[in-house]
Amino acid sequence: MTISKFSAKTLFTLLVIIIAGELIYSLPFHIPRFFRPTFLDVFSLTNTQLGDIFAVYGVVAMISYFPGDVIADHFAPRQLMAFSLLTTALGGVYLATFPPAAHLYFIFGYWGCTSVLLFWSAMIKQTRSLGGEDSQGIAFGLLDGGRGLVASLVASAAVITLANFLVSDDQDLVMKQQSMKAVILFYTGMTLMAGCLVWFGLKDEVSSDVVSKRAKFKGLGLNQHWQDIRLVLRDPKVWLQGGIIVCAYCGYKALDNYGLYATQVLQMSQVDAASLTAMASYARPFAAVAAGLIADRWLVNRSIFVFFGLAAAAFITMLFTGSALTNWVVANIIVTFVAVYAIRAVYFALVEQSQLGLGVTGTAVGLISLIGYTPDIFFASVTGRILDANPGLTGFQHYFMLLSGLCVMGMVLAHWFSIRLRSSKEG
């Protein structure tokens, strides 16, 4: 199926999900990603400390995935998603007061709950439902590509906001705080806007499988859910999908440090570094939609194998780019963004390829996410220590070596998934 075969109603629903699906993560992720050097300065943080703060987010998020999948399998998404956006925005209001650095552990832990518990599985299940049987690749490609476009547009506007306050890196801490406060409040307002859009833009349409589950939930629902969990746990393809997402998500989180790479290695200003990462992020919508189209024509698992290979080559190349800002360096940075975004766009399309029933999608997504998003716990802490131990070029060379190895591991898991898939079809 091509994009043109989606109905206007489907496209509008997908648009609302896209906007909400990106802005729910704008406060905990966009600000540290696009404005990392300034964020570290105004909160007086090291890379290690920020990594440990993200670890708190990851632990709470991991705990939230499974309860979230139970809720997503029994209730319609509108109220769940709107409430998640509202409560996430409230955290932004508190962050804008510049609380002590110790309070950031609480704020990010709070966001780990608000952005996952009622939101994540509901969004994935709704997208799978929109894609049908033959358009999972393009549905998830549009979701991630659209989210990328939203992220880039909002980040570009936020960079302009930062530049209006932060003329140079030599300005005092008060001016840097004012610039960061403007960025935080901007993202908070956008998150609230997305919550209103979901509330008024989505309808409480509940599929027949959800109605059935609600009825069972009132009687034997708990027993039914444990049956769903056992069914999902016994499928090795689900575990392989989780492993694939671990490798892919590490690559995605690696992009968060490119702003720091630009300032520490390429000697760019903080505003220019934010502009570079924001501009590179525009590759996401194109890479995601292209990956979706390729995956629908050439199988999702095969596509992911190739994209991992491209990402591994790009990260290996980054080991030898040096410290001079050249067109070659910029081009290779963009290639890493493209490869990582392509994998991220379609890895949840593997759920449909595994032929799991729609009624257990929430349960499957919960388990896959529980495994796949564990990098939220360890990745920033590990890489923060790598970068703090050897600031500058050496630290980033060690960083890119780690990422290259993870991409090779992703290729192995994608190939193993293909073997299991063939075995299950032959069986």
Residue reference for tokens 């690559």 = 251
pLDDT of residue 45: 94
Number of residues in the chain = 427
pLDDT at 201 over 50: yes
Instruction: Count Cα neighbours of 120 within 13 Å in the Cβ-side half-sphere.
Output: 29
Which is more confidently placed, 265 or 136? 265
Give 191: exposed, middle or buried? Use CB within 10 Å, 0-12, 13-18, 19+.
Answer: buried
pLDDT of residue 427: 55
pLDDT of residue 131: 66
pLDDT of residue 167: 58
SS3 sequence of the chain: CCHHHCCHHHHHHHHHHHHHHHHCCHHHHHHHHHCHHHHHHHCCCCHHHHHHHHHHHHHHHHHHHHHHHHHHCCCCHHHHHHHHHHHHHHHHHHHCCCCCCCHHHHHHHHHHHHCCCCCHHHHHHHHHHHHCCCCHHHHHHHHHHHHHHHHHHHHHHHHHHHHHHCCCCCCCHHHHHHHHHHHHHHHHHHHHHHHHHHHHHCCCCCCHHHHHHHHHHHCCHHHHHHHHHHHHHCCHHHHHHHHHHHHHHHHHHHHHHHHHHHHHCCCCCHHHHHHHHHHHCCHHHHHHHHHHHHHHHHCHHHHHHHHHHHHHHHHHHHCCCCCCCCHHHHHHHHHHHHHHHHHHHHHHHHHHHCCCCHHHHHHHHHHHHHHHCCHHHHHHHHHHHHHHHCCCHHHHHHHHHHHHHHHHHHHHHHHHHHHHHHHHHHC
The pLDDT confidence band at residue 326, using thresholds 50, 70 and 90, is confident
Which residues contact residue 410 at a Cβ distance below 8 angstroms, ignoring those fewer than 6 apart?
A: 244, 247, 248, 251, 304, 308, 311, 343
Give the tens place of pLDDT for each residue, 379-417.
999 999 999 999 899 999 999 999 999 999 999 999 999
pTM of the model: 0.79
CA 249-46-63 angle, to 5 degrees, is 40
| Distance in angstroms (rounded) separating the CA atoms of residues 151 and 154 | 5
Which is more confidently placed, 221 or 247? 247
Domains, the chain, with CATH or none: 7-200+221-426 (1.20.1250.20)
- Count CB-CB contacts under 10 A for residue 413: 23
pLDDT at 220 over 50: no
